[in-house]
Amino acid sequence: MTQIFDNPADFADEALDGFVAANRGYVARVDGGVVRSTEVPAGQVALVVGGGSGHYPAFAGLVGPGLATASACGNMFASPAAGQVYRVAKVANAGGGVLLSYGNYAGDVLHFGQAQLRLNAEGIETRTVLVTDDIASAPLDQIEKRRGIAGDLTVFKIAGAAAEAGLNLDDVERLAIRTNYRTRSLGVAFDGCTLPGAEAPLFSVPPGHMSLGLGIHGEPGISDHPMPTASELADLLVSKLLADKPDDAGTRVVAIVNGLGTVKYDELFLLYGKIEKLLTAAGLTVVEPECGELVTSLDMSGLSLTLLWLDEELEQYWAAPADTPAFRKGNLASRARRELAGPEAEEAADVERPTPAAAALGRLAVELLGQVRDVVVEHEEELGRLDAIAGDGDHGIGMRRGVDAAVAAARQAAANDGGASVARILTVAGEAWSERAGGTSGALWGSAVIAAGLALGNRDSYSGEDAAAAVTAFTDAITALGKAEPGDKTMVDALLPFRDAFLTAFDAGTPVAASLAAAAASATAAADRTAELRPLKGRARPLAEKSLGHPDPGAVSFALIATRISAHISPTGTRLVNPEPAEQGAQA
């Protein structure tokens, strides 16, 4: 149970503040995460790592000379937002380019990916290496689909050491890729973990059993097994990892026994001893192993074994010194403290002159966002429970965080003299949604809300055609960014039927409000049908069997929101296309 907090919603931020206070010689707080507080030699490649909070020492604890330059820190088990990654990387950049490295999770991929585009567009050369070490999450021939667990450490360590040695971005990237392809991990859990403020763990393991192939965000394991002895456990982990070794494996390996939260060090050491004997018996030489808590999952009772198959070059960088709050190796000359520039002032937004029609539609957008928040709050727990079946249980929390921020930002924009256009209202709302929620749904909802706003623009009048364009833009933003196909078991399986039903009804001459009602009904039925699907995208993919029989949480939340918006609009449907006070445009 995670029990030390004032307000669960502030847990990640306050924990990070305290971590920085306790480690000022290593790290400084910046908007979005932490960076080294010591000098970074000019021209050195900046290794920017990151992910959700709740995994300490990943990721902030691994910032320091010889390892990461900075870490973007998201909320509990939710990726940092694109803006956070961008701001952290800007501060970390020392003129040698940026390597972004993080575990392969949909939310991280979306947000870090957007930050990379922005950094490159500004002339800061930025590359990405995903960590995909978890052998339980996909077969070897689909290694790129595997998720990242304790193998984060080997990839970050070798990339960080290469950057410290002055290698250029091409070489640091090359070594990080090679390390990832030669790293394999497998984890087991004896009990689940509990998000701060939650009453129950995200999953539990039947008494006397162990769950094999767990995730590090409270995703349950792939299968449950009777609790083995330590020797049997060592044998299981070693044999499964050896069966998955790379083609050009060699005989020298790094072994990492990683505690996930509540397994005692004595137990980890006991297991490590047995693992090392098995590796030696298999003809392998274990090089500079690690045994301790390196990538955790709150208070999860569990552990993992990681093997990195070394070659000469990787061994050199694995053995190189590093000095971070949580990982120290060898000796590094001490570094001077550096003065960090404060965050760059945001450029003042252009002052817009909203048309009366766009301002009236903007007011309606604020009202509708309030409705969206209400329905998310009403269903927050249910969405969390649904997400915990095969995911990380944070869908309700994430949606709530996003929509709360969106409503606040929209209200603030609308409070300007003369109000704000619907384009501006939805743009600030979408930005705030993505920034505050992080995670997969934060990125997708944020960009979709912005896209709908841009489609509506700041016009003199609005017609039903504009509503249809907004529905299309909202849908296209999600499919373009998330790249999910129908049948992948994502929110797209409710979104596409929604769009199609809306456009079919509208094109046949049905008024906007009634088209919306038909679309919401179609989304609800489609969300229910996702229970029959196996997830092919997102967090739930490795746990396809567990997900069968339960609808996709993102599809369900989308359908709930569509239904609420439609119900709110129906009685006043004309306001959609004929907003007061401008009595112009087509009738709904």
Ligand X SMILES: O=C(COP(=O)(O)O)[C@@H](O)CO
Task: Name the residues that contact ligand X, by CB under 6 A.
Answer: 51-52, 55, 77-79, 102-103, 105-108, 217, 392, 438-440, 539
* Cα gap 553→204, rounded to integer Å: 20
Residue 482 interacts with, from ligand X, ligand ADP, none (CB under 5-8 Å by kind): ligand ADP
Residue 386 phi/psi, 5-degree rounding, is: -65, -40
Within residues 407-436, the interface with ligand ADP by CB under 6 A covers none
33 versus 160: smaller Cβ distance to ligand ADP: 33
323 versus 435: smaller Cβ distance to ligand X: 435
The active-site residue out of 55, 111, 209, 217 is: 217
Please answer whether residues 152 and 166 qualify as being in contact, where contact means their C-beta atoms are separated by less than 8 angstroms: no
156 versus 474: smaller Cβ distance to ligand X: 156
Q: Is 562 exposed, middle or buried (0-12, 13-18, 19+ CB in 10 A)?
A: buried
Residue 333 phi/psi, 5-degree rounding, is: -60, 140
- Total binding residues for ligand ADP by CB under 6 A? 27
Which residue bears the tokens 């995200």? 202
Query: What residues contact residue 426 under an 8 Å CB cut-off, 6+ apart?
Result: 365, 410, 449, 450, 452, 453, 454, 456
Interface segment toward ligand ADP; rule CB under 6 A; list 17-25, 136-144, 319-327, 490-498:
490-498
Taking the complex as a whole, how short is the minimal distance between the CB of residue 129 and ligand ADP, in angstroms?
A: 20
Contact between 160 and ligand ADP per CB under 6 A: no
Residue among 260, 149, 210, 225 nearest 542 (CA): 149
* Cα gap 298→189, rounded to integer Å: 12
Residue 23 interacts with, from ligand ADP, ligand X, none (CB under 5-8 Å by kind): none
* Cα gap 34→88, rounded to integer Å: 7
Taking the complex as a whole, how short is the minimal distance between the CB of residue 106 and ligand X, in angstroms?
A: 5
3-state secondary structure of 188: strand
Within residues 355-384, the interface with ligand ADP by CB under 6 A covers none
Contact between 391 and ligand ADP per CB under 6 A: yes
* Active-site residue flag, 217: yes
* Cα gap 274→271, rounded to integer Å: 5
Please answer whether residues 302 and 263 qualify as being in contact, where contact means their C-beta atoms are separated by less than 8 angstroms: yes
3-state secondary structure of 209: strand
78 versus 399: smaller Cβ distance to ligand X: 78
Within residues 86-145, the interface with ligand ADP by CB under 6 A covers 106-107
Among 484, 505, 512, 559, binds ligand ADP (CB under 6 A): 484
Please answer whether residues 425 and 362 qualify as being in contact, where contact means their C-beta atoms are separated by less than 8 angstroms: yes
Residue 191 interacts with, from ligand ADP, ligand X, none (CB under 5-8 Å by kind): none
Taking the complex as a whole, how short is the minimal distance between the CB of residue 495 and ligand ADP, in angstroms?
A: 8
Half-sphere exposure at residue 228, Cβ-oriented, CA atoms within 13 angstroms: 15
220 versus 482: smaller Cβ distance to ligand ADP: 482
Contact between 491 and ligand ADP per CB under 6 A: yes
323 versus 552: smaller Cβ distance to ligand X: 552
Contact between 387 and ligand ADP per CB under 6 A: yes
Binding to ligand ADP by CB under 6 A, coded x per residue (else -) over 528-557, reads ---------xxx------------xxxx--
Taking the complex as a whole, how short is the minimal distance between the CB of residue 365 and ligand ADP, in angstroms?
A: 22
Please answer whether residues 358 and 421 qualify as being in contact, where contact means their C-beta atoms are separated by less than 8 angstroms: yes
Host H or E run for residue 436? helix 422-437
108 versus 323: smaller Cβ distance to ligand X: 108
3-state secondary structure of 203: coil
Contact between 568 and ligand ADP per CB under 6 A: no
Contact between 444 and ligand ADP per CB under 6 A: yes
Residue 52 interacts with, from ligand ADP, ligand X, none (CB under 5-8 Å by kind): ligand X
* Cα gap 186→198, rounded to integer Å: 27
Residue 492 interacts with, from ligand ADP, ligand X, none (CB under 5-8 Å by kind): ligand ADP
DSSP letter string, 54-94: SSTTTTGGGBSTTSBSEEEEEEETSPPPHHHHHHHHHHH--
Taking the complex as a whole, how short is the minimal distance between the CB of residue 109 and ligand X, in angstroms?
A: 8
Among 32, 482, 573, 579, binds ligand ADP (CB under 6 A): 482
Compute CA distances 256 → 126, 276, 313, 410, whole Å.
29, 10, 19, 48
304 versus 490: smaller Cβ distance to ligand ADP: 490
Interface with ligand ADP by CB under 6 A: which residues?
A: 78, 106-107, 387, 391-392, 394-395, 398, 439-441, 444, 478, 482-484, 490-492, 537-539, 552-555
Report the catalytic residues. 217
